[in-house]
Amino acid sequence: MQRIGVFVCWCGSNIAGTVDVQAVSDALKNEPGVVFSTNYQYMCSQAGQDMIIQAVKEHNLTGIVVCSCSPRMHEATFRRTAQAAGLNPYMVEIANIREQCSWVHKDIPIGTEKAIILGKAAVAKVNLNTPLTPGESPVTKRALVIGGGIAGIQTALDIADAGFPVDIVEKKPTIGGKMAQLDKTFPTLDCAACILTPKMVDVAQNGKIRIFSYSEVTDVKGFVGNFDVTIKKNARYVKEDICTGCGACVEKCPMKKVPNEFNLGMDNRSAIYIPFAQAVPKVATIDPNACNMLKNGKCGLCARVCAAGAIDYTQKDEYIEEKYGAIVVATGFNPISMDKFDEFAYNQSKDVITSLEFERLTNAAGPTAGKLLRPSDGKHPHTIVFVQCVGSRCDACAEKGKEYCSKICCMYTAKHAMLTRDKYPDTDVYVFYIDVRTPGKNFDEFYRRAVEEYGVHYVKGMVGKVVPEGDKLKVQASDLLSNKQLHIDADLVVLAAAIEPDKSARPLATMLTASMDTNDFFTEAHPKLRPVESPTAGVFLSGACQGPKDIPETVSQAGAAASKVIGLLAKDKLTGNPCIAHSNELMCNGCSSCERVCPYGAITYEDKEFRMPDRTTLVRRIAVVNPAVCQGCGACTVACPSGAMDLHGFASGQIMAEVDAICK
Amino acid sequence: MQMNEYKPLIVAFCCNWCSYAGADLAGNNRLNYPADVKIIRVPCSCRVNPMFILRAFQRGADGVIICGCHPGDCHYTSGNYYTRRRMAMLFSMLDYLGIEKERTRVEWVSAAEGAKFAATMNDFAEKVAALGENKRLEDLRCKR
Ligand SMILES: Cc1cc2nc3c(=O)[nH]c(=O)nc-3n(C[C@H](O)[C@H](O)[C@H](O)COP(=O)(O)OP(=O)(O)OC[C@H]3O[C@@H](n4cnc5c(N)ncnc54)[C@H](O)[C@@H]3O)c2cc1C
Ligand code: SF4
Ligand code: SF4
Ligand code: FES
């Protein structure tokens, strides 16, 4: 029989205002198992906790019920109190009489009655509590970063700086992400390459960092501190350790008409390629869809010109298995497809481009060597129309675009407009916007400079239609402030396309059992207080994969994620959650029902010998739960047809007792 | 007049990660709903065994509601899909036994949806109250 103490909290007047706390502690005195019951102003205060500790000692309590605020608030506090009093911390139950009682019911008799019932349910549960001890597991002191954009780069550098080994898995042939494609960056206008490429070199030269480029994660097993990850290194048909990145093969390759994805298809590359001059690793990659040798065995020129002998047409995809203690997701974003936005004639005219394409057109390393030329005829555009919010903040057109604000477009459009006017003062630049949002540091000043110093025409209103006519683009738009229809003959139209998470993020989230919102951005464990952790222990978030972000925000989140990882890897052991499933081997018939529903693969089977009463032995297959893998959802307990599977902390008997107490 | 005095007894199973937090948020925002609703915290909606629901009805509950995270948002990724399937079956069986469909419900309430939690409970309590007392499992009731 349990010896239970009940502690009813007033929470100042938060509870005591609508619940008669004296009546509650009096009523609970008579419940089975209760030997002590009291109430106090603030149970969570030091004095309140001391009171609990005192009572445990004085009355030899074995279980504690605290009637107070939500267990989400102070369950951990009172568990620590129990521990300090020499009790097992899991001998505590909380009756939530604040959030779920005093705050939602106004009438004192009604609130009091409900508080008593909730208290009774908690007492009934504690009567069946058993001491639980969390298991311990070791920590593999290595981190995995998925995605090698600025987010992944910064996270990896910070983790390595603390002395822990890090692997970066990047699906493209080089790290760098979107930032490598940008020209200059707001709000300071420093060139992206000048600030990014030194970091890429740091990554390459850091002895603690390994880069798996042109690779992807194909399987994740395990749990915080002990992830088993399978990495697929796609065959690049070039031996990475031998290739010197000299580029002789690229020059000689006869297949020169492959659209260059790094320049968003605005120029061509060869079948064997190095994405850009500062690529890391600076290693060539053969595109198997374009290479003649790989497609039909004819050519082999690159192997002949490669002095290092790095070309290997027989290379196969390679699977690498590695253990990690922590995983950081940094898979970034992409601009959405413009296919559904016919009104802007993106697919009809080469001179309607996206903002990322514009970045390449103004980039000295881009297809036009930094000269702003029209993709169609290579002429200088004299009138440029920028359209903001294409597919962003789209309530009505949710099937085409996104409901959220992409956050970075206002600023990069101001940047583009300003840079254009700076380099080509003879161009007329129009920006159509719904609102201009510039909340960052020095952002509003930046935008005002575009308007005031650079004379960019900002027009509040949406562009209704873009019609290619001759070598002009007829832009029809409305000016909402002067309530006029505008017709502009533009030479170039630039669409600030909404951004969305990388398409590979969702399957990755499933592998990691990390959650995502409806837009496929990774969700954080708590939107305010745990912004860089995912709800899955050991999985952290960095950069635009969690939500639209500019570079300064990405870098600060990357550093925050790294510090969380470092905190985890610095530990030698992790204590788990003891509220996990366990199967009763005498009742289990090895049917596999539980294994099929477990989302974590925590259940395995073993053949166990049972001594029968007639002294024979019987070998039976029984379910075994891996305590380090089980997360304690309880799916298996319901699936089990023989009632063998139960959950510590939320046992069937305990929940039944609560039901009984409530329905009495 | 007597009829208006009748208070239904409602058991709400809420998953720890979304709906229980949603209920807490309703509290934080002081959104009222009937005190007839008593919440039992479970780790995930998939922890709710049909047995618990039968027991509640045997012991005199007038309505049972299960709240979990929105599809796709379950903390354990897929628990709420099991809930949805299991409960669809259980509820139609209960309906067959005479426990009207309006007395049972599965609802997705996120941690951010305090208002939805309160609105759901108000609506559910009203529908259950309109049906009156639930006597269907009385003969099976395990009297102590
Ligand atoms: C047109 C434009 C202009 C911009 N201008 C500015 C500016 O001036 N100033 C500013 O501060 N910000 C600017 N930004 C925003 C900036 O680009 C982002 O803040 C930054 O790139 C986010 O970095 P990231 O690492 O999170 O994502 P990304 O740069 O998208 O990097 C993600 C990386 O992960 C890789 N990856 C994705 N999925 C996987 C997978 N499953 N496995 C392995 N690897 C994967 C990708 O290949 C990529 O390399 C601009 C953005 C755009 C579109
Ligand atoms: S409680 Fe959930 S995680 Fe644990 S073994 Fe059962 S199904 Fe798997
Ligand atoms: S479902 Fe139950 S009986 Fe079947 S294997 Fe799992 S624990 Fe054993
Ligand atoms: S955790 Fe909420 S439904 Fe599974």
**Which CATH number covers residue A60?**
3.40.50
- Classify residue A653: in a domain, yes or no: no
pLDDT 10s digits, B39-65: 999 999 999 999 999 999 999 999 999
* Number of inter-chain CB pairs under 8 A, A vs B: 139
A521 DSSP assignment: P
User: Inter-chain contact A114–B41, Cβ cutoff 8 Å?
Assistant: no
Q: Could you tell me if A594 and A636 are in contact, meaning their C-beta atoms sit under 8 angstroms apart? A: yes
* ipTM surpassing 0.90: yes
- Classify residue A661: in a domain, yes or no: no
Which pLDDT score is estimated for B3? 46
Closest chain B residue to A631 measured between Cα atoms? B76
β-pair type (A428-433, A166-169): unpaired
Which pLDDT score is estimated for B142? 54
Which of A99, A107, A118 is the closest to B28 by Cβ?
A99
Give the integer Cα–Cα distance in Å for A564 and A562: 5
Which of A101, A513, A650 is the closest to B42 by Cβ?
A650
A520 and A553 share one domain: yes
β-pair type (A136-138, A573-575): antiparallel
The pLDDT of A134-150, averaged and rounded, is 95
Say if ligand 2 is within 6 A of residue A361 CB: no
Provide the shortest C-alpha distance from residue A555 to chain B (in Å).
Answer: 27
Residues in chain B: 144
B4 pLDDT higher than 60: no
In 3D space, the residue among A182, A165, A307, A313 whose CA is nearest the CA of residue A243 turns out to be A307
Task: Starting from the CA of residue A630, give the closest ligand.
Answer: 2
By most ligand atoms within 8 Å of CB, the mutation choice from B76, B78, B82 for ligand 2 is B76
- Classify residue A660: in a domain, yes or no: no
Q: Could you tell me if A386 and A494 are in contact, meaning their C-beta atoms sit under 8 angstroms apart? A: yes
Nearest residue (by CA) to ligand 2, atom 2, is A633
Question: Sorting pLDDT into bands at 50, 70 and 90, what band is A628?
Answer: confident
Give the integer Cα–Cα distance in Å for B27 and B34: 12
Q: A270: Cβ–Cβ under 8 A, 6 or more apart, which residues?
A: A250, A253, A254, A255, A256, A258, A290
Q: DSSP string of chain B?
A: -HHHH----EEEEEETTTHHHHHHHHHHTT----TTEEEEEESSGGG--HHHHHHHHHTT-SEEEEEEPPTT--TTSSHHHHHHHHHHHHHHHHHHHT--GGGEEEEE--TT-HHHHHHHHHHHHHHHHHH----TTGGG----
Q: Could you tell me if A383 and A491 are in contact, meaning their C-beta atoms sit under 8 angstroms apart? A: yes
pLDDT 10s digits, A426-480: 999 999 999 999 999 999 999 999 999 999 999 999 899 999 999 999 999 999 9
Q: Which two tokens stand for residue A631?
A: 């997360």
The pLDDT of A395-410, averaged and rounded, is 87
A396 and A463 share one domain: yes
A399 and A428 share one domain: yes
Higher model confidence: residue B5 or residue A401? A401
A240 and A214 share one domain: no
The boundaries of the domain holding residue B43 are: 3-142
Task: Starting from the CA of residue A361, give the closest ligand.
Answer: 1
Instruction: Count the domains in chain B.
Output: 1
Question: Sorting pLDDT into bands at 50, 70 and 90, what band is A526?
Answer: confident
The boundaries of the domain holding residue A10 are: 4-126
Say if ligand 3 is within 6 A of residue A635 CB: no
pLDDT 10s digits, A238-259: 999 999 999 999 999 999 999 9
By the 10 Å C-beta count (0-12 exposed, 13-18 middle, 19+ buried), A617 is classed as exposed
User: Inter-chain contact A638–B72, Cβ cutoff 8 Å?
Assistant: no
Q: Does A652 touch chain B (CB under 8 A)?
A: yes
Give the integer Cα–Cα distance in Å for A65 and A67: 6
Phi and psi at residue A15, to the nearest 5° = -95, -50
A664 pLDDT higher than 90: no
Q: Which helix (H) or strand (E) holds A8?
A: strand A4-9
Q: Which two tokens stand for residue A416?
A: 């583009």
The pLDDT of A495-518, averaged and rounded, is 90
Nearest residue (by CA) to ligand 3, atom 5, is A590
B144 pLDDT higher than 90: no
B143 pLDDT higher than 60: no
Give the integer Cα–Cα distance in Å for A387 and A344: 9
- Classify residue A656: in a domain, yes or no: no
> Amino acid identity, residue A396?
A
A152 and A198 share one domain: yes
Which pLDDT score is estimated for B138? 61
A392 and A482 share one domain: yes
Chain B interface, best mutation among A596, A633, A637, by max B CB count within 10 A? A633
By most ligand atoms within 8 Å of CB, the mutation choice from A600, A605, A645, A650 for ligand 2 is A600
Å from CA of A652 to ligand 3 middle = 15
B141 pLDDT higher than 60: no
User: Inter-chain contact A638–B47, Cβ cutoff 8 Å?
Assistant: yes
Which pLDDT score is estimated for A398? 67
Which residues from B are below 8 Å from A658, CB to CB? Answer: 40
Q: A250: Cβ–Cβ under 8 A, 6 or more apart, which residues?
A: A269, A270, A272, A273, A274, A284
A572, A591, A616 - which closes a domain: A572
A395 pLDDT higher than 90: no
Provide the shortest C-alpha distance from residue B55 to chain A (in Å).
Answer: 7
* CATH code of residue B31: 3.40.50
By most ligand atoms within 8 Å of CB, the mutation choice from A585, A592, A594, A620 for ligand 3 is A594
Question: Sorting pLDDT into bands at 50, 70 and 90, what band is B136?
Answer: low
Closest chain A residue to B16 measured between Cα atoms? A72
A413 and A456 share one domain: yes
A15 and A86 share one domain: yes
Nearest residue (by CA) to ligand 1, atom 30, is A332
Which pLDDT score is estimated for B47? 97
A346 and A378 share one domain: yes
pLDDT 10s digits, A507-516: 999 888 787 8
Provide the shortest C-alpha distance from residue B139 to chain A (in Å).
Answer: 16
Instruction: Count the domains in chain A.
Output: 5
CB contact residues (below 8 A), chain A span 424-453, against chain B: none
pLDDT 10s digits, A211-227: 999 999 999 988 889 99
Please, what is the average pLDDT of chain A?
A: 95
B69 pLDDT higher than 90: yes
Q: Which two tokens stand for residue A47?
A: 């004095």
- End-to-end distance of chain B based on CA atoms, in angstroms? 32
In 3D space, the residue among A537, A280, A496, A477 whose CA is nearest the CA of residue A407 turns out to be A496
Give the up-direction half-sphere exposure of residue A661: CA atoms within 13 A in the CB hemisphere.
28
Q: Could you tell me if A545 and A329 are in contact, meaning their C-beta atoms sit under 8 angstroms apart? A: yes
A375 prior amide bond cis, ω within 30: no
Give the integer Cα–Cα distance in Å for A164 and A156: 9
Q: What is the pTM of this model?
A: 0.75
- Classify residue A23: in a domain, yes or no: yes
* CATH code of residue A625: 3.30.70.3270
Task: Starting from the CA of residue A622, give the closest ligand.
Answer: 3
The pLDDT of A599-619, averaged and rounded, is 90
A401 pLDDT higher than 80: yes
Q: Could you tell me if A514 and A327 are in contact, meaning their C-beta atoms sit under 8 angstroms apart? A: no
B139 pLDDT higher than 70: no
User: Inter-chain contact A599–B9, Cβ cutoff 8 Å?
Assistant: no
Higher model confidence: residue A400 or residue A40? A40
User: Inter-chain contact A632–B9, Cβ cutoff 8 Å?
Assistant: no
- Name all contacts of B132-139 with Cβ < 8 Å and 24+ positions apart: B132/B3, B132/B6, B133/B6, B133/B8, B133/B62, B134/B57, B134/B60, B134/B61, B134/B62, B134/B63, B134/B99, B134/B103, B136/B57, B136/B97, B136/B98, B136/B99, B137/B54, B137/B57, B137/B58, B137/B97, B137/B99, B138/B60
A306 and A369 share one domain: no
Question: Rounded to whole angstroms, what are the CA distances from A592 to A488, A585, A622, B45, B78?
Answer: 68, 13, 9, 21, 18
Q: Which atom of ligand 3 is nearest to the CA of A587?
A: 3
Q: A624: Cβ–Cβ under 8 A, 6 or more apart, which residues?
A: A583, A603, A604, A605, A606
- Classify residue A662: in a domain, yes or no: no
| Residue A279 Ramachandran class (φ > 0 left, ψ -120 to 50 alpha, else beta) | beta
For residue A263, the Cα-to-chain-centroid distance in whole angstroms is 27
User: Inter-chain contact B40–A658, Cβ cutoff 8 Å?
Assistant: yes
Q: B143: Cβ–Cβ under 8 A, 6 or more apart, which residues?
A: none
Chain B interface, best mutation among A638, A640, A645, A656, by max B CB count within 10 A? A638
Q: Which atom of ligand 3 is nearest to the CA of A636?
A: 1
| Residue A606 Ramachandran class (φ > 0 left, ψ -120 to 50 alpha, else beta) | beta
Angle between helices A46-59 and A71-84 (to 10 degrees): 50
User: Inter-chain contact B41–A71, Cβ cutoff 8 Å?
Assistant: yes
> Amino acid identity, residue A397?
C
Q: DSSP string of A146-209?
A: E--SHHHHHHHHHHHHTT--EEEE-SSSSS-GGGGG-SEETTTTEEHHHHHHHHHHHHHH-TTE
pLDDT 10s digits, A39-80: 999 999 999 999 999 999 999 999 999 999 999 989 999 999
User: Inter-chain contact A659–B9, Cβ cutoff 8 Å?
Assistant: no
Q: Which stretches of A205-290 are assigned E, i.e. beta strand? A: 209-212, 215-223, 226-233, 258-259, 268-269, 272-273, 285-286
A508 and A553 share one domain: yes
Which pLDDT score is estimated for B5? 66
A104 and A221 share one domain: no
Give the integer Cα–Cα distance in Å for A139 and A136: 10
The pLDDT of A284-301, averaged and rounded, is 96
CB contact residues (below 8 A), chain A span 612-651, against chain B: 631-635, 637-639, 647, 650
